[in-house]
Homo-oligomer: A and B are copies of this chain.
Amino acid sequence: MIVTVASFKGGVGKTTTAFHLAKFFSLTEEPTLLVDGDPNRSSLSWADRGELPFEVCDFDAIAMAARKAEHIIIDTKSYPDARQLEVLAKGCDLLILPTTADALALDALVSTIKAVRQLKADYSVLLTKLDSRETGSNKAARELFESRDIPIFKQSIRQLSAFKKAALAGVAVCDVADRRAGEAWNEYKLLGKEIHDA
């Protein structure tokens, strides 16, 4: 399965999402590849710090590495426009668009999706970095997408400090010493299942 993760704004957890999906797929024991297309090499620098159960390669080295992988997760280079989005979507089985629930990020996402509505490919929005206390904004964001018939994952990702610790240590959140590491990993695990079962 080839999954592409893209966003129109920074700081929405794009790299974290790509990284943890790669971790999820690697648990199937099938060879998994994480492609880092980000110009500041977030994923690769993450890989430098810890020992990972999947391959990580630069976007330019994709051809060689892709042959050996059953699952490929692509962390796109930052911020495609509407035209590039179509190209991305056609080049994968599933396009994931993570976004936070704040007005600026939602604006950027909705207006871009509107421009490619006729997009034939599979894509779905993922709400990330949700503050559990802001029940209102969270529900509003979800309803915004549902009211426009934009596909959105049932599973969303909360903002937990375990994710920060994981980024710092260069490991997946399930391998970090944190009280809530289990809960945190469970959110990506459920997301993985949702992708797998779809």
Contacts and interface: CB of A to CB of B under 8 A. Distances in A.
Nearest to A114: B51
A164 interface: yes
B100 A147 contact: no
Q: How many copies does the complex hold?
A: 4
Interface string A155-169: 000000100100111
Interface residues of A, number: 41
**Interface SS of chain A:** helix
A161 B100 CA distance: 13
A6 to B, nearest CB: 13
A42 interface: yes
Nearest to A15: B104
Contacts of A161: 131, 134, 137
